[in-house]
Amino acid sequence: AGLLKGKQATGCDCDNGLDAALSNAQAIRVEKPVVTDGNIITADGLLAAMGFGKAIVQVLKKYPCKDFF
C-alpha cells in the first residue's frame, strides 16, 4: 500500500526480519522505541507501549475534535 514509503519507522525485530520488511516498504529504519513521521507512528515492541500511546495523543492534538465526529 506504500504507507511507509520514504517514512522513518521502527519495529520489533524478533525474527531478524525487520530490516528486510522496512527495506521492502521503502521505509527508513530508525533505532528508537517510538518513531513518529507525520501521521505514521511505529513502535518497537511492548515496552514502547506508553510512548506509543503518548505519540498517538500528540498527533491527535493537531486536529480539532470536529474532524473525528
Q: Is the dihedral of CA 17, 43, 60, 68 positive or negative?
A: positive
Contact 26, 8 (CB under 8 A): no
pLDDT at position 67 is 62
Amino acid at 25: A
pLDDT at position 68 is 63
pLDDT at position 69 is 62
Does the reported pTM lie above 0.75?
yes
pLDDT at position 64 is 80
Q: With a cut of 50, which residues of the chain have pLDDT below it?
A: none
How far is 18 from 62, CA to CA, in rounded Å? 30
* Cell 511492548 found at: 46
* Cell 519507522 found at: 9
Residue 37 grid coordinates: 513521521
pLDDT at position 41 is 98
